Amino acid sequence: MDNVIDVSGLVKTFGRFRALDGLTLQVSAGEVHGFLGPNGAGKSTTIRSLLGLLRVDAGTATVFGKDPWHDAVAIHRRLAYVPGDVALWPNLTGGETVDLLLRMRGEDPAASRRAELLERFALDPTKKGRAYSKGNRQKVALVAAFAADPELLILDEPTSGLDPLMEQVFNECVAEHTARGATVLLSSHILSEVERLADRVTIIREGRTVESGTLDELRHLRRNRIRAELDAPAALDGLPGVHDLVVEGDVVTCSVDAEGLPGLLSALTAAGVRNLTSTPPSLEELFLDAYRTEPVAS
């Protein structure tokens, strides 16, 4: 199937600052795509380019196969967007704002799940925009986004102001929308959230894509942490793919590449294994790895 979002070689400069520097991003239909990066990595700039708000300097970006700069309105009919920092109209109530955003997307608020979502997010729709806290402003935008059935949801750090209970509601909403076949681009630096929700992940840093793939694929690229209790000392030194080896009496700890695993296992088995634990890297570790400027000394 075609990619819903297809970005390659995207460059965007602000004066001398190169915010995007050859960024690549592919989001296929029906998936939840985690878009990870630290603050200032270019996540919001990418999203704003995808919405046609910014004019990029080089590279191509398409959403639904269309150019966001030229076909913004046609693309926007099919998506809903929640910005990272939601600004509301000071003298419009939350309810008015939800309805306004829905109507401007061509949806009928009365036919939407607006009432149900207001309840689930525990949002008072009669307060004026200026009176909402950051979390509640975010809820206003989330209710407007989730109330109808857009084909694509673009969510820029959508839970940064929500408490854990509301994060749970948010996760359920994302699951409901993917269940009906929607595509979700979820930018975040909250790794656990992406780990729970995302099918595939793109990690960016300083405007470039560092890693992209399913969580499983990314794990393949990374070392498992092995801890084994042995009957007899094993000759593990110099085995290919084995790093950070520490032997303390009969306990061995090391990390191992995917390619080194068979060799390590047979060496351990030969020595007689009493106990073995293998821990896959968390996204946290992948993330830290991707951002380590210097390559790790092995």
Partner 1 sequence: MSSLAGVRPLAWQAVRRDRLMLALWTLALVGVCYASAAATESLYPTTAEQVRAAEAINDSPAIVALYGPILDVHSLGELAMTKLTVLYAVILSVLFVILVRRHTRVEEESGRTELVGGTAVGRDAPLVAAVVEAAVVALGIGLLAGLADLGGGLPVAGSLAFGASWAGIGLVAVGVTAVACQLSASARTCAAIAAGAVGVLYLLRAVGDTSAAWVSWLSPFGWSTQLRAWSGPRWWVLVLYVVLAAVLVGVAHLLRQRRDLGSGLLAARPGPADGSPRLGDAVALAVRVHAPSLAVWSCAVAGLAVVFGAIAPGIGDLLDSDPAREMIERLGGVGVLEETLLAAILSILAVVFTCFALTVVGHGGSDEQDGRTEQVLATATSRSRTFAATLVVALGGSLWLLVVAGVGLALGYGQDFGALLGAALAQAPAVWLVAALAALAWAWRSAGTIAGWVLLGLFLTLGQLGELLGLPDWVLGLSPYTHVPAMPVEPFAPAPFTVLTLLTALVLTLAWTRYRTRDIG
Residue whose CB is less far from partner 1, 85 or 284? 85
How is residue 158 written in tokens? 């959508």
Give the span between the Cα atoms of 246 and 278, in whole angstroms: 15
Residue whose CB is less far from partner 1, 98 or 252? 98
User: In sequence order, which ranges of 55-163 are alpha helices (DSSP H)?
Assistant: 72-76, 94-104, 114-120, 134-146
Options 28, 30, 67, 100; binder of partner 1; rule CB under 8 A: 100
Options 1, 2, 15, 90; binder of partner 1; rule CB under 8 A: 90
Q: Are 187 and 51 in contact (CB under 8 A)?
A: no
Is the CA virtual torsion 154, 160, 161, 162 positive or negative?
positive
Q: Are 30 and 215 in contact (CB under 8 A)?
A: no
Three-state SS at 4: strand
Total residues binding partner 1 (CB under 8 A): 43
**284 CB neighbour count, 10 Å cutoff:** 11
Q: Are 65 and 2 in contact (CB under 8 A)?
A: yes
Q: Taking CB under 8 A as the rule, does residue 111 contact partner 1? A: no
Options 11, 29, 131, 215; binder of partner 1; rule CB under 8 A: 131
Give the span between the Cα atoms of 113 and 173, in whole angstroms: 11
Stretch 141-200 residues interacting with partner 1 (CB under 8 A):
141, 154
Q: Taking CB under 8 A as the rule, does residue 16 contact partner 1? A: no
- Residue 224 bridge partners (DSSP): 256
Q: Taking CB under 8 A as the rule, does residue 23 contact partner 1? A: no
Q: Taking CB under 8 A as the rule, does residue 101 contact partner 1? A: yes
Burial 258-275 (b: 16+ CB within 10 A, else e): eebbebbbebbeebeeee
Options 38, 59, 125, 213; binder of partner 1; rule CB under 8 A: 125
Q: Taking CB under 8 A as the rule, does residue 127 contact partner 1? A: yes
Give the span between the Cα atoms of 140 and 153, in whole angstroms: 15
Main-chain dihedrals φ then ψ at residue 227, nearest 5 degrees = -130, 125
Stretch that binds partner 1, among 99-107, 224-232, 245-253, 290-298 (CB under 8 A): 99-107
Q: Taking CB under 8 A as the rule, does residue 10 contact partner 1? A: no
Q: Taking CB under 8 A as the rule, does residue 98 contact partner 1? A: yes
How is residue 91 written in tokens? 């003298």
Options 40, 58, 70, 103; binder of partner 1; rule CB under 8 A: 103
Q: Taking CB under 8 A as the rule, does residue 91 contact partner 1? A: yes
How is residue 192 written in tokens? 């656990």
Residue whose CB is less far from partner 1, 71 or 167? 71
Options 40, 65, 106, 240; binder of partner 1; rule CB under 8 A: 106
Options 1, 39, 55, 249; binder of partner 1; rule CB under 8 A: 55
Residue whose CB is less far from partner 1, 97 or 136? 97
Q: Taking CB under 8 A as the rule, does residue 95 contact partner 1? A: yes
Q: Taking CB under 8 A as the rule, does residue 4 contact partner 1? A: no
**244 CB neighbour count, 10 Å cutoff:** 13
- Interface residues with partner 1 (CB under 8 A)? 48, 51-55, 72-73, 76-77, 79, 81, 83, 85-93, 95-101, 103-106, 109, 124-128, 130-131, 141, 154
